[in-house]
Structure 1
């Protein structure tokens, strides 16, 4: 764990006295986090940023800033257009105080394990390479302790070894798709349809996003032939080549908004959904977010009613099968 300089500890103590001795230990942690934020920001941290992030008043934000200014005279004051002031540390000021914590490292390792489990080997290897480079900067003793703690944390999570099916995606296909998306160009692809097995050669697509999730993985792309957005199973790609043609994604298109219109990946006409969970499973069901735009209501008899609008009824039915006869589903066509 990073050790705070005596000057910063003294500033924290002064803040505690001014607050009547009731300042919680969490405020000390906030000051340390603020110091790290100031070193990691090129444009600096303003008083408004401190108020918003730490949920404090303007006066408390000023005291937090002043505590760091007293502890670290090297902090730079920046003035943007309009007179807005912000503060930052010159790079390297905090030294080892800015080293990542065990929680941060284990979160990155967990992300790598989940990414590999979902079939994205290239991203998993990139994350693991980044972790190795970060840990290479630690002292020998800390590297040894961190390695043991990370292994124990990963086993405790059960992430890396959780059983379950996943699709195998060719790394070269995924790499080609990502490069095309980043470059903003069209692709030519040979793709085999999942349902019919029919191979479409030289299909021209404008790639938008690679979508990972439980089970099947897809490319969201604009199909030049169908002149519309379509989902293409990643396992169906047998060849992908980038073209020297710019692809401009639809204006104001938001992938998250597009995904929120459906339940899972299936696309069909939207419906107004009502799921009625029996009282004996209502508490369990209340612990789930079935859809980002859902409205849940606990009824007088103890049952739970969940409403939302989405397409993908087939995937809804597949999902509800796990609840057996403890849920009743109603679907109403959207009329407006």
Structure 2
């Protein structure tokens, strides 16, 4: 068997060991990016090499899993995987996310302690060299805050489907005590709790650094049955949620190549134009954050729609101009 096929068999075994319920043939094919017949051959190879594989009946399908996990030899991480884990922890620390960095650093120590000393000694020189040779550029923006105790309380309430109580302080407003049904957390330039108002059911976002006296409350408060955090996050250009608009932008030829490689939004389409430019279309809310982003494109981008985005951009430009004129 060629080396790449051997790697596919080992990777499939890892996936089967990492799944509590097991994998169907269709899931094996999808995760291995192969056809069903190839997935069957890979499964048969795993069955032959790993006697601990068990078949689980899940009508109308079958599932296969490896209970008890794999050995340290079969699970030894690569240099690249360890480097990416180290960089992820360093990136969180650089942006002020010490609590989340500690979790990744703990995982890194556990992985290394489970590795054979000979394997670790072999990887150590390359790992040290790559860590020194790569760094993360910290961009300007708000410093996200994810206090470890606050996150633990939120996660506990999410898992137990309990109401979450906290005091929320908006700039220029009196602090207000809130009680919500927690749906999840969005991490980014700022970190937000996503929750449903217990009376209206409306989904709202709350910045974690503006929350205090956070506690799980008695009772049951599940998220709305049809709520999907990934779908909710993808509706906005950034974090702020408002009315969804049809956004149409024209990018000049000079910026077309960059625009084609840019991830504007999950719903984006890009149309080539005769003059070498492109038209970018997507559906999103968050016009202010989009306007802020479009500042970075300068004259390369023209807003074709919606009108609300044009008005928002005009307002932001006017505010910037006033600030510039007021400067000594």
Q: TM-score, normalization: structure 2? A: 0.80
The 2-side partners of 1:87 and 1:146 are apart by 33
Report which stretch shifted further, 170-179 or 205-214: 170-179
Q: 1:209 aligns with which of 184, 187, 194?
A: 184
Deviations 1:122-165 (Å, cap 9, x if unpaired)? 22212211221121122334334444433433444423x63544
The 2-side partners of 1:310 and 1:156 are apart by 38
Aligned twin of 1:27: 5
Report which stretch shifted further, 185-194 or 46-55: 46-55
The answer to whether the 8 Å contact 2:47/2:53 transfers is no
Aligned twin of 1:200: 175
Distance apart, 1:283 and its partner CA? 0.2
Aligned twin of 1:268: 242
What is the SS of the residue equivalent to 2:226? coil
Residues 82, 122 of structure 1: CA spacing in aligned structure 2 closer, same or farther, 3 A cutoff?
same
Distance apart, 1:47 and its partner CA? 4.5
Distance apart, 1:167 and its partner CA? 3.5
Q: Which has more radius of gyration?
A: 1
The answer to whether the 8 Å contact 2:72/2:114 transfers is no
Q: 1:249 aligns with which of 212, 217, 223?
A: 223
The answer to whether the 8 Å contact 1:51/1:57 transfers is yes
Distance apart, 1:235 and its partner CA? 1.5
The 2-side partners of 1:120 and 1:94 are apart by 33
Distance apart, 1:322 and its partner CA? 0.5
Q: 2:108 aligns with which of 126, 131, 136?
A: 131
Aligned pair count reads 307
CA RMSD in angstroms comes to 3.0
Residues 252, 132 of structure 1: CA spacing in aligned structure 2 closer, same or farther, 3 A cutoff?
same
Query: 1:1-336 maps to which residues of 2 (within 5 A)?
Result: 12=1, 25-44=3-22, 47-71=25-49, 74-78=51-55, 80-82=57-59, 87=64, 89=66, 91=68, 94=71, 96-159=73-136, 162=138, 164-165=140-141, 166-194=143-171, 196=172, 198-214=173-189, 216-224=190-198, 228-332=202-306
Distance apart, 1:80 and its partner CA? 1.6
Distance apart, 1:262 and its partner CA? 1.3
Residues 45, 212 of structure 1: CA spacing in aligned structure 2 closer, same or farther, 3 A cutoff?
closer
Distance apart, 1:325 and its partner CA? 0.8
The 1-side partners of 2:57 and 2:302 are apart by 58
The answer to whether the 8 Å contact 2:165/2:177 transfers is yes
Residues 225, 107 of structure 1: CA spacing in aligned structure 2 closer, same or farther, 3 A cutoff?
same
Residues 288, 83 of structure 1: CA spacing in aligned structure 2 closer, same or farther, 3 A cutoff?
closer
- Structure 1 unmatched ranges of 5 or more: 1-11, 13-23
The 2-side partners of 1:50 and 1:204 are apart by 42
The 1-side partners of 2:243 and 2:69 are apart by 55
The 1-side partners of 2:244 and 2:39 are apart by 47
- Structure 2 unmatched ranges of 5 or more: 309-328
Deviations 1:141-192 (Å, cap 9, x if unpaired)? 4334444433433444423x63544234443333333332232222222221
Report which stretch shifted further, 172-181 or 182-191: 172-181
